[in-house]
Structure 1
Amino acid sequence: MKWMKVALPVGVLLVGYLGMKGIEASASDSAITEEVDTRPTVTIEALSPEDVRVQLTSYGEVLPLETTNLAAQVSGEVERWNPKFVSGGLVRRGETLFEIEADAYEAALLLAEANLASAQAQLIQEEAQAEVAAKEAKTMPNARVTDLYLRKPQVMSAKAGVKSAEAQLKIAKRDLENCKVKAPYDALIVSRDISTGDYVTQGSPVAVINNIEFAEVTFPIAGFDRVFLSDTTIGSEIAIEIDDIQGATVKGTIHRDTGVVDNTTRMSYFVARIEDPYAINSSKPIVKFGSYSTIAFTGKTLSDVYRVPQELVTNRLLWTLDDEDRLKSQKVKVVREENGDFLIQGDFNAEKVVMSLPEYPQNGMAVKVIETTTEIVTAQAN
């Protein structure tokens, strides 16, 4: 029995040893050696050239085309004024704003008419006498016939009297017309400084008015954007978004270039015009003076450019793949930055533009191309 106590553990150990060796032999026979691909993965896209019409934006304040400090051209007492002749009132071109007492100017007109009639009568009389003198002179020796005898000075004086009377009549008519002070254009009344019964003197300011036939917006263009202005910028139509009116956009026209580059900012300034800003002749949104506006218009067309996200271009280099799927950096020209993208041109492999780079890309680095989400979705759809 003693030998069994010794043989049993030895047998168990022997069986375990033999079993382990069998498992090792079996595992080594079935083991499959796999190669691990250590290449970094990238995604690529094929880019196509396109023609891009540059969109330019700027900003500016809406201001009146002109502001007039209105003054009376004659003196007198204010008899009445237009109910719309108040701050904020809108009046049309030629509409009477207020009237000055006209009795004295009506009397001056009558006196001027009378003076003209008298001067004309004097001229007729002198011309008749000159005609008689001319007939008599035909029978007289030439030595006795003088300009004074022919009444030439008297006729000239009478003609001058007529012209003087006509001038006085013209002034009298103008003064009488100026008793009614009229709007020189479609206007917004900014302020009024007179009331009924006030006495105004010639040339004294009585109101401030703004022209509302047109509004203007002076807006800057940065130096780097000037090269993208088209040859037809002046006179082109633009869209003007008014910040004070939610979602309101009105049409305007680029009227002129101010012709000056600011010494500090190096910006050029252009002026846009808005027709009928207070919509008295249309149903478009009212654009108030002093509103802040954003201006958008089109510039030059860039031909054969590629649009890429800005993060793909570093130091003017774009990463692509060669025919063996190795990284290659290629020099490109950044034509313009637009909405988070670069518009570029250059001689590069547009069929294999790397969209996701390894952490430390190197020229000649072998990479593995994986499908993008867009490509997978397209494949599933097909």
Structure 2
Amino acid sequence: MSENKTNTSFWTKVGRTFVPLVLIVAGGVAWSYFKATAPVMQRSKPERKVAVVEVRTASLGDARTVVAAMGTVVAAREVTLKAQVSGVVQSAAKAYIPGGRIAKGAELLSLDPADYQVAVKKAQSALATAQAALAIEQGSQNIAREELRLLVEISGESVAQTDLAMRKPQLQQAQADVTSAEADLRKAMLDLNRTVVKAPFNAMIVERNVNVGTYVGSQESLATLVGTDEFWVEAMVSLGQLPLVDLDYLGGCPVTIRSQAGEGQWTGHVVQVAGKLNDTSRMATVIISVKNPLGTAGHPTSTRLMIDDYVYADITGRELTGVIELPRAALQDDDTVWINQDNTLDIRNVTLAWKSDDAVYLTSGVAASEQVIMSSLTTPVQGMPLKTTEDAVAGSPTDTEGK
């Protein structure tokens, strides 16, 4: 039994010693096998990506600028009519309502003329009395002259013809009385004529202040009128765009006007640039004249330009000569343009002469016949390789960056 235990202990020790060695050797053999049979990775130089872009050839030309502005319609002529005499309003024209139109010289209101008709009669009577007194004095002067002649003949002595002897002061007094009576009559007739209030020009009533039966005093407001032959648009233009407005344009720069709220389109022309900046916006005010904005009183237009309406104004400005015209999409941030320079990207700073909603006009930065990139690039980098769409179609397949 002691011998069996000794044999078991021996083989146990042998197993504990050789089994790990066998496992280590087997692992080494396996590692060597897999290393010898593993695929070898070949490193290759990455291909350079080329962006495919659409381009447009720049060309030199001329362009007429258009300055887009916003403005307010105001009256070119506005007046507040006031009574020149006092009295009760006796009648009013049918057009005497807000929005009513009345022709130049037409009767708008009339005051009770009775008192002024009496004043005219009295002035006429006073004038007749003064004229009669003048005639009597002229006769008296003839008598005085004849009496002085007879006195000289009877006495045989010369007698001085003094002013008093010839009744010249009395004659001058009578002539002055006639002149004063004539002036009083003219004043009475003027007051009578002023009982009829007439429109000073073709006008529209925007405010009425009295009605039939109202007693009005002298210098009391009767109505506010605006002229209908012409309206003005006071348009706001930035100081940067103001030089584009050509004040020397024959007849004024043409302007197209559109209402912001309603329908309708009108034409006008620039009259002047106000000499003061707007206090709020710090922009210049350009005055635009619109002729016949409402049509005639008998034939009004279907769309009327309204006072205080907000409008868009497209002002035809100066002509630009020798500029590069490009689509608005070609202009990038910070006033830069992308150029295809020998199939590489060249980021250019440009000088803008003017830009509209659809196009930009450059005075420097891009030369004629250069290729301007119209495509968008995800990460534009100066000098990055490019390929035009025409070259991409004609050339061999290449990994490209999306347009």
- Determine if the TM-score, normalized by the shorter chain, exceeds 0.5: yes
1:160 to 163, 168, 176: 176
Q: Which whole-Å CA distance do the structure 2 matches of 1:78 and 1:263 have between them? A: 43
Q: Could you tell me which amino acid in structure 2 is paired with residue 354 of structure 1? A: I
Give yes or no for the alignment of 1:81 onto 2:92.
Answer: yes
Q: Which whole-Å CA distance do the structure 2 matches of 1:348 and 1:209 have between them? A: 56
- CA shift for structure 1 position 173: 0.8
- CA shift for structure 1 position 239: 1.7
Q: Which whole-Å CA distance do the structure 2 matches of 1:153 and 1:120 have between them? A: 16
| Structure 2 residue aligned with 1:370 | 389
| Structure 2 residue aligned with 1:102 | 113
Aligned-CA RMSD value: 3.2
Give yes or no for the alignment of 1:145 onto 2:156.
Answer: no
Give yes or no for the alignment of 1:325 onto 2:343.
Answer: yes
Q: Which moved more, 1:257-266 or 1:98-107?
A: 257-266
| Structure 2 residue aligned with 1:199 | 215
- CA shift for structure 1 position 301: 0.8
What SS does the corresponding residue of 2:50 show, helix, strand or coil?
A: coil
| Structure 2 residue aligned with 1:40 | 51
| Structure 1 residue aligned with 2:26 | none
- CA shift for structure 1 position 317: 4.2
Q: Which whole-Å CA distance do the structure 1 matches of 2:392 and 2:193 have between them? A: 80
Equivalenced residues, count: 341
What SS does the corresponding residue of 2:211 show, helix, strand or coil?
A: coil
CA contact (8 A) 2:271 2:288 kept: yes
CA contact (8 A) 1:41 1:358 kept: no
- CA shift for structure 1 position 177: 1.1
Q: Calculate percent identity across the aligned residue pairs.
A: 25
1:242 to 234, 259, 267: 259
The superposition leaves residues 70-118 of structure 1 with CA deviations (integer Å, 9 ceiling, x where unpaired) of 3322222333322332333222222222222222211211221222222
Distance 1:36 1:74, change over 3 A: closer
1:105-254 alignment to 2 at 5 Å? 105-134=116-145, 144-233=160-249, 235-246=252-263, 248-254=264-270
- CA shift for structure 1 position 228: 1.0
The superposition leaves residues 163-187 of structure 1 with CA deviations (integer Å, 9 ceiling, x where unpaired) of 1111111111111112222222223
- CA shift for structure 1 position 286: 1.8
The superposition leaves residues 45-67 of structure 1 with CA deviations (integer Å, 9 ceiling, x where unpaired) of 21212211001121222222344
Distance 1:206 1:374, change over 3 A: farther
Q: Could you tell me which amino acid in structure 2 is paired with residue 318 of structure 1? A: V
CA contact (8 A) 2:55 2:373 kept: yes
What SS does the corresponding residue of 1:227 show, helix, strand or coil?
A: helix
Q: Which whole-Å CA distance do the structure 1 matches of 2:63 and 2:358 have between them? A: 15
Distance 1:219 1:330, change over 3 A: closer
1:293 to 294, 311, 322: 311
The superposition leaves residues 138-197 of structure 1 with CA deviations (integer Å, 9 ceiling, x where unpaired) of 675677432212222222212211111111111111111122222222232334343333
Q: Which moved more, 1:126-135 or 1:65-74?
A: 126-135
1:260-339 alignment to 2 at 5 Å? 260-262=276-278, 265-281=281-297, 282-284=299-301, 285-308=303-326, 309-322=328-341, 324-339=342-357
1:351 to 370, 381, 394: 370
TM value normalised by structure 1: 0.77
CA contact (8 A) 2:247 2:270 kept: no
Distance 1:142 1:296, change over 3 A: farther
Distance 1:143 1:57, change over 3 A: farther
Q: Which moved more, 1:200-209 or 1:145-154?
A: 200-209
- CA shift for structure 1 position 343: 1.3
TM value normalised by structure 2: 0.73
The superposition leaves residues 259-291 of structure 1 with CA deviations (integer Å, 9 ceiling, x where unpaired) of 223465332112222233332344433222222
What SS does the corresponding residue of 1:223 show, helix, strand or coil?
A: coil
- CA shift for structure 1 position 257: 2.2
Look at both structures and tell me which one has the larger radius of gyration over its CA atoms. Answer: 2
Q: Could you tell me which amino acid in structure 2 is paired with residue 298 of structure 1? A: T
Give yes or no for the alignment of 1:92 onto 2:103.
Answer: yes
Q: Which whole-Å CA distance do the structure 1 matches of 2:374 and 2:350 have between them? A: 16
| Structure 1 residue aligned with 2:400 | none
Distance 1:145 1:364, change over 3 A: same
Q: Which whole-Å CA distance do the structure 2 matches of 1:217 and 1:245 have between them? A: 16
Q: Which whole-Å CA distance do the structure 1 matches of 2:268 and 2:54 have between them? A: 46
Distance 1:158 1:55, change over 3 A: same
Distance 1:237 1:117, change over 3 A: farther
